[in-house]
Amino acid sequence: MIKSGFIAIVGRANAGKSTLLNCLIEQKVSIVSPKPQTTRNRVLGIWTEDDYQMVFVDTPGIFNPKNKLGDYMLKSIDNATKDVDCILAVIDGHDGIDEKELDVAIKYVSTGIPVVAVVTKQDISQKETLINELAKLNAIEGLQSVWVVSAHKNKNVKELREELKKYLKDDVMYFEKDDVTDKSQRFMVCEIIREKILLGTDEEIPHGIGVELNKMEYNPKRDIWSIDANIIIEKASHKPIILGKHGAKIKEIGSYARQSMEKLLGTRVFLQLWVKIKPDWRNSDFMLKEIGYDKKDCQ
């Protein structure tokens, strides 16, 4: 008998949601960085065994939106948590669990959907402190269970996945056996570029970055992908930061991005990156749609 279901992964920005998703499905489908607001879209990650299929839904971190992109991200969270069979409330446990984190779990419990709390980053948490903090979660009425995991050390993640089987209710497989995500290669390519910028630059720059694909073509004769993309920035003053001295930074970003793309696509990649200034693009409906943050997708 086949069982399947949707499990949403929610929590505050930087909690470790995308890292947990990638660990649960043993594939990298969602980008990760130490900067908050790394994830901007709803991203599915699919795990299929002979007798069951789990569809995890990664979401942007919860925060106060300051522009239309932020509104889009919040809508994506709302949309992703509707009609799911279970919600994983992910909490970064390494620095204590505060009221806001508890409120997230409480809010989702009140929806009536089963909520499992997952305290992550156990590898960098103090054992004694964590035990005290867990008591706060255990006191929340209606929570299904509380888990402590480390996605970095792959600790307790398989066990968590096993536990989640009990929330699968549907008797159809929604995706093919080999599918790992609903996202296209074009989406993944843009996300890889954004991830390398997030990892390679500091401060406020990454939040104002968008990536727009101009061309993605495969040449079967040469067995190579040609990829051409714009890095959209909001301020002219950010351009030298992205470019670096004599273009060293953009070269480094391009080189890391190309390596990840080659892994994803399984062949060589020729990557060209351009920097374009588009002031306030995060408030432009047109630009948001151009870059892939289409309101239609989160209604």
Ligand X SMILES: Nc1nc2c(ncn2[C@@H]2O[C@H](COP(=O)(O)OP(=O)(O)OP(=O)(O)O)[C@@H](O)[C@H]2O)c(=O)[nH]1
- Contact residues toward ligand X (CB under 6 A) are 11, 13-19, 32-34, 36-39, 60-61, 120-121, 123-124, 150-152
Beta carbon of residue 6, minimum distance to Mg ion (angstroms, whole number): 18
* Cα three-residue angle 194-189-212, rounded to 5 degrees: 65
- Choose from Mg ion, ligand X, none: what does 96 bind? Cβ within 5-8 Å by kind: none
Give the Cβ contact number of residue 110 at 10 Å. Answer: 10
- Choose from ligand X, Mg ion, none: what does 120 bind? Cβ within 5-8 Å by kind: ligand X
Would you say 89 or 216 has its CB closer to ligand X? 89
Token pair 């054992």 is found at 127
Would you say 15 or 168 has its CB closer to Mg ion? 15
Would you say 93 or 250 has its CB closer to Mg ion? 93
The neighbouring-strand residues paired with 226 are 217, 270
Beta carbon of residue 237, minimum distance to ligand X (angstroms, whole number): 24
Edge-to-edge order in the sheet of strand 210-219: 210-219, 224-233, 268-277
Measured distance CA(122)–CA(60) in Å, rounded: 22
Phi, psi of 228 (to 5 degrees): -130, 125
- Choose from ligand X, Mg ion, none: what does 123 bind? Cβ within 5-8 Å by kind: ligand X
Would you say 15 or 250 has its CB closer to ligand X? 15
Q: Which residues bind Mg ion (CB under 5 A)?
A: 17-18, 38-39
- Characterize the bridge pairing of strands 86-92 and 115-120: parallel
- Choose from Mg ion, ligand X, none: what does 151 bind? Cβ within 5-8 Å by kind: ligand X
Q: Which of 70-101 are b and which e, b meaning 16 or more Cβ less than 10 Å from the residue's Cβ?
A: bbbbbbbbebbbeebbbbbbbbbbbeebeeeb
Beta carbon of residue 214, minimum distance to Mg ion (angstroms, whole number): 26
Beta carbon of residue 124, minimum distance to ligand X (angstroms, whole number): 4
Beta carbon of residue 272, minimum distance to Mg ion (angstroms, whole number): 27
Would you say 8 or 216 has its CB closer to Mg ion? 8
